[in-house]
């Protein structure tokens, strides 16, 4: 069995202490980070190694994006893909010794206007999701886990108000449709919702809210999926809401799941 967590950290160097706190307190076997905003060579990997996370597979870039997989278990680099030809570090994969492949994704946020004609970033987001779909269609993933900040809250109970967010980027019908097509293409199972099938569930609260906890206007943007052949081994899902209240937090919180593999 192993436990995996995903967390958009919004700068791994700025929040090195928070990552170390999570690793020390919760001890996931694997932690996938998004938006590390750092070249790989400048990541504080020694701090993580000191806590037992000696295996790192990452793709970084200065000041933006970036994805990393930290592991206590041996992993090997399983490559990356430049989705939508953006030249961004938004995907990396690693393979465990048991053959399970972990994909760590950071899907573009998509800007503020949900119209690709008016907003280049929204078009890039849709193109990124379309390429995910096409890749999964072309080569059906097996024994794989996909995690990350997918920047879409697909279900009505993944947002604080379905009605008020229908025209807000991250919950628009066209985004939800694109994400669903990518999920279907790979026969991916949403492990979090397999474990927690009903009820409001969020992993992100805006920095703009003066009191995020009281307002509770959240969205579930961070996901853990598994291919259907191993989805039955997934369990123990949880979202660590209290982390949003840590000092100088990310606006995202970690999402966890365990797998009996």
Is 251 flagged in the annotation as binding?
yes
Identify whether 157 is a catalytic site residue: no
- 97: burial class by Cβ within 10 Å (0-12, 13-18, 19+)? exposed
Rounded Cα distance between 254 and 85, Å, is 28
* 35 among annotated binding-site residues: yes
The one catalytic residue among 149, 158, 190, 222: 149
CA distance 35 to 97: 26
CA distance 127 to 132: 9
Asked if residues 171 and 152 have their Cβ atoms less than 8 Å apart, the reply is: yes
CA separation for the pair 174, 180 (Å, rounded): 10
CB contact set of 211 (below 8 Å; sequence gap of 6+)? none
Please report where in the chains the tokens 């919004």 appear, as a residue. 10
Identified catalytic residue from 106, 158, 171, 178: 106
Q: Give the residue from 33, 139, 14 showing the smallest Cα distance to 92.
A: 33
Q: What are the two backbone dihedrals, phi and then psi, of residue 93, each rounded to the nearest 5 degrees?
A: -130, 150
| 84 token code pair | 């939508």
Identify whether 252 is a catalytic site residue: yes
8 is in an annotated binding site: yes
User: Which residues contact residue 141 at a Cβ distance below 8 angstroms, ignoring those fewer than 6 apart?
Assistant: 101, 103, 186, 187, 188, 227
Binding residue numbers:
8, 35, 149, 151, 251-252
Q: Which residues are annotated as a binding site for Mg(2+)?
A: 8, 35, 149, 151, 251-252
Catalytic residue list? 106, 149, 252
């Amino acid at each position: 069995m192993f436990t995996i967590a995903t967390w958009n950290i919004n700068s791994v160097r700025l929040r090195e202490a928070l990552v170390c706190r999570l690793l020390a307190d919760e001890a996931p076997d694997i932690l996938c980070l998004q938006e590390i905003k750092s070249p790989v060579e400048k990541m504080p990997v020694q701090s993580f190694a000191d806590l037992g996370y000696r295996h790192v597979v990452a793709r970084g870039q200065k000041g933006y994006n970036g994805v990393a997989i930290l592991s206590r278990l041996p992993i090997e680099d399983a490559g990356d893909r430049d989705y939508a030809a953006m030249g961004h570090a938004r995907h990396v994969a690693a393979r465990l010794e048991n053959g399970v492949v972990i994909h760590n994704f950071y899907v573009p946020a998509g800007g503020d206007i949900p119209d690709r004609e008016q907003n280049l970033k929204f078009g890039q987001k849709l193109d990124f999701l379309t390429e995910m779909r096409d890749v999964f269609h072309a080569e059906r993933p097996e024994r794989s886990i996909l995690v990350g900040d997918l920047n879409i809250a697909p279900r009505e109970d993944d947002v604080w108000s379905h009605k008020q967010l229908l025209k807000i980027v991250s919950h628009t019908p066209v985004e939800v449709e694109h994400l669903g097509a990518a999920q279907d293409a790979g026969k991916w199972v949403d492990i979090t919702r397999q474990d927690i099938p009903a009820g409001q569930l969020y992993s992100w609260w805006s920095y703009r809210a003066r009191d995020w906890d009281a307002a509770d206007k959240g969205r579930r943007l961070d996901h853990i999926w598994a291919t259907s052949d191993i989805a039955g081994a997934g369990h123990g899902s949880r979202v660590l809401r209290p982390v949003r209240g840590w000092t100088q937090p990310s606006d995202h919180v970690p999402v966890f799941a365990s797998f009996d593999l």
